[in-house]
């Protein structure tokens, strides 16, 4: 028996309804806030991710699925969406008419990490990106959107954590201070961090290895190095969130695992998922569009871990399954053939009808109708068929109604979808 690849998964009926519900809820919310959907490929040239995410990140160093295609070009299954959305923004000159654009996209991402609860090798993200706005208002808007989505999905036990990572003007001083600090900690750091220490000391702040976390407890904080402009930006984000009634925690340790972030970064964290506490993460990446060859446009975005969100929504997938509107229990060859034709005609008009494809007793057909929780059952016995009528039963109230066969589809529709 051939099995799934490790870290990949099937999303089966019974669970998929939850995914569909979340997807619809998110898409509706995004559209209410003026976002358009954008769909990007699941593969890109490796260079795109290497350049945008950063060579020293976990993702680029060890998590990407990269392979040469037949002509030797290096391709990568996308580990995240932002790089591709930025590429599309630049490539199709989506800034030309109006640089202010809001996009969302939903789909699979691929990272070769150690699989565990809430961590897969193919996982899904819901992404949002806003281009062309430098104002801290959109930083607050995105955090507000995340919190509102959680509300609509009845997710509790989440908290917004925010921080500022500064800008190219204030970061060098901080990097310098951090390097000095790290030089005194070399014996305590994991081999990755020891190597990254000089090249990209910020990465050490994001390391998940417990010993590194311990060593970093009294590390200098970027927060204390913010320039006046970055500090003012962050103050406005906070004041706006206050005005919107969004609760948040300033988390000076919050850095994110991608190189391109500037200024505001944020995460939605939950206590409900053990070690995988980040449900969503995002931030500003003002330099990335230009770094990838586009115009100098600021940008900000977030990614929600769809798989993790599914784990914590306060909804029961069973409540989201749509049972059949109608089950037709037909006896005898002629009735069964009519039932099949009606099922097709009703389906075309949006009524979900089911039949029993076999030639089984009324009792076993009724059992199946019960099992499917059909709202109505139509009984077409041989005798009834001969008299040109059938019986429609409301399964909740047990009310019965006689329906003439010659206008069955209309009559059923009128009763079921008044």
Interactions with ligand ATP, residue window 278-307 (CB under 6 A): 278-281, 303, 305, 307
- What x/- string results for residues 218 through 257 when contact with ligand ATP is judged by CB under 6 A? --------------------------------------xx
What is the nearest approach in angstroms of ligand ATP to the Cβ of residue 6?
Answer: 13
Interactions with ligand ATP, residue window 103-162 (CB under 6 A): 111, 113, 118-120, 123, 125
The answer to whether the CB of 102 falls within 8 A of the CB of 70 is: no
The region of 44-52, 145-153, 273-281, 328-336 touching ligand ATP under the rule CB under 6 A is 273-281
Looking at beta carbons only, is 81 or 392 nearer to ligand ATP?
Answer: 81
Looking at beta carbons only, is 127 or 297 nearer to ligand ATP?
Answer: 127
Checking 367-370 for CB contacts under 8 A at 24+ apart, the result is 368/327, 369/327, 369/329, 369/395, 370/395
What is the nearest approach in angstroms of ligand ATP to the Cβ of residue 163?
Answer: 13
Q: Kindly give, in sequence order, each residue whose CB lies less than 8 Å from that of residue 269, ignoring residues fewer than 6 positions away.
A: 158, 159, 161, 277, 278, 279
Select the residue interacting with ligand ATP from 25, 66, 135, 276 (CB under 6 A).
276
What is the nearest approach in angstroms of ligand ATP to the Cβ of residue 259?
Answer: 12
Looking at beta carbons only, is 278 or 377 nearer to ligand ATP?
Answer: 278
Closest by alpha carbon to 276, among 114, 128, 163, 142? 114
> Cβ–Cβ contacts within 10 Å for residue 200, how many?
15
Q: What is the 8-class DSSP label of residue 56?
A: T
Integer Cα distance of 247 and 105 in angstroms: 26
What is the nearest approach in angstroms of ligand ATP to the Cβ of residue 388?
Answer: 58
Kindly determine how many residues on this chain lie close enough to bind ligand ATP according to the rule CB under 6 A: 19
Select the residue interacting with ligand ATP from 80, 259, 356, 384 (CB under 6 A).
80
Integer Cα distance of 367 and 349 in angstroms: 26
Interactions with ligand ATP, residue window 358-387 (CB under 6 A): none
What is the nearest approach in angstroms of ligand ATP to the Cβ of residue 255?
Answer: 10
SS3 197: helix
What is the nearest approach in angstroms of ligand ATP to the Cβ of residue 4?
Answer: 15
Integer Cα distance of 392 and 376 in angstroms: 7
Packing angle between helix 46-53 and helix 82-91, nearest 10 degrees?
A: 110
Within 13 A of 211's CA, how many CA atoms are on the CB side?
10
Q: What is the 8-class DSSP label of residue 407?
A: G
Looking at beta carbons only, is 81 or 355 nearer to ligand ATP?
Answer: 81
Q: Are strands 122-131 and 74-77 parallel, antiparallel or unpaired?
A: unpaired
Phi and psi torsions of 239, nearest 5°: -65, -35
Looking at beta carbons only, is 132 or 257 nearer to ligand ATP?
Answer: 257
What is the nearest approach in angstroms of ligand ATP to the Cβ of residue 77?
Answer: 13
Looking at beta carbons only, is 29 or 279 nearer to ligand ATP?
Answer: 279
What is the nearest approach in angstroms of ligand ATP to the Cβ of residue 108?
Answer: 10
Residue 54 binds to ligand ATP (criterion: CB under 6 A): no
Looking at beta carbons only, is 80 or 356 nearer to ligand ATP?
Answer: 80
Token match 């990407």: residue?
A: 64
Q: Which residue is nearest to ligand ATP (CB)?
A: 305
> Cβ–Cβ contacts within 10 Å for residue 75, how many?
14
Phi and psi torsions of 32, nearest 5°: -60, -25
**Which stretches of the chain bind ligand ATP, using CB under 6 A?**
80, 111, 113, 118-120, 123, 125, 256-257, 276, 278-281, 303, 305, 307-308
């Amino acid at each position: 028996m051939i099995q799934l690849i490790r870290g990949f998964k099937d999303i089966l009926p019974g669970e998929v309804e939850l995914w569909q519900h979340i997807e619809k809820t998110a898409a509706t919310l995004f559209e209410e806030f003026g976002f358009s959907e954008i769909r990007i490929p699941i593969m890109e040239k490796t260079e795109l991710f290497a350049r945008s995410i950063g060579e020293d990140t976990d993702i680029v160093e060890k998590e990407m699925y990269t392979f040469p295609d037949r002509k030797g070009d290096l391709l990568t299954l996308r580990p995240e969406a932002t790089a591709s959305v930025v590429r599309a923004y630049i490539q199709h000159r989506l800034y030309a008419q109006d640089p202010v654009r809001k996009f969302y996209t939903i789909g699979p991402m691929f990272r070769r990490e150690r699989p565990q609860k809430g961590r897969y090798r193919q996982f899904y993200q819901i992404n949002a990106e806003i281009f062309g706005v430098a104002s801290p208002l959109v930083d607050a808007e995105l955090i507000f959107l995340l919190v509102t989505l959680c509300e609509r999905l009845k997710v509790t036990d989440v908290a917004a954590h925010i921080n500022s990572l500064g800008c190219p003007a204030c970061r060098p001083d901080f990097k310098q201070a951090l390097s000095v600090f790290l030089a005194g900690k070399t014996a305590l750091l994991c081999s990755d961090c020891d190597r990254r220490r000089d090249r990209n000391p910020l990465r050490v702040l994001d390391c998940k290895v417990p010993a590194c976390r311990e060593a970093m407890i009294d590390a200098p904080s970027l927060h204390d190095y913010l320039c006046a402009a970055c500090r003012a930006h962050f103050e406005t984000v906070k004041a706006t969130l206050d005005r919107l009634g969004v609760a948040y925690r300033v988390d000076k340790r919050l850095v994110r695992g991608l190189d391109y972030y500037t200024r505001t970064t944020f995460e939605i964290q939950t206590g409900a998922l053990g070690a995988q506490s980040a449900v969503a993460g995002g931030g500003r990446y003002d330099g990335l569009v230009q770094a990838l060859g586009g115009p100098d446009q600021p940008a900000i975005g977030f990614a929600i871990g769809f798989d993790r969100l599914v784990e914590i929504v306060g909804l029961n997938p069973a409540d989201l399954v749509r049972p059949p509107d109608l089950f037709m229990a037909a006896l005898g060859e002629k009735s069964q053939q009519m039932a099949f034709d009606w099922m097709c005609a009703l389906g075309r008009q949006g009524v979900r009808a089911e039949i029993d494809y076999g030639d089984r007793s009324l009792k076993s057909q009724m059992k199946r109708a019960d099992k499917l929780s059909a709202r109505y059952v139509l009984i077409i016995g041989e005798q009834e068929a001969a008299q040109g009528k059938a019986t429609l039963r409301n399964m909740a109230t047990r009310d019965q109604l006689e329906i003439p066969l010659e206008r069955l589809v209309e009559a059923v529709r009128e009763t079921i979808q008044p």
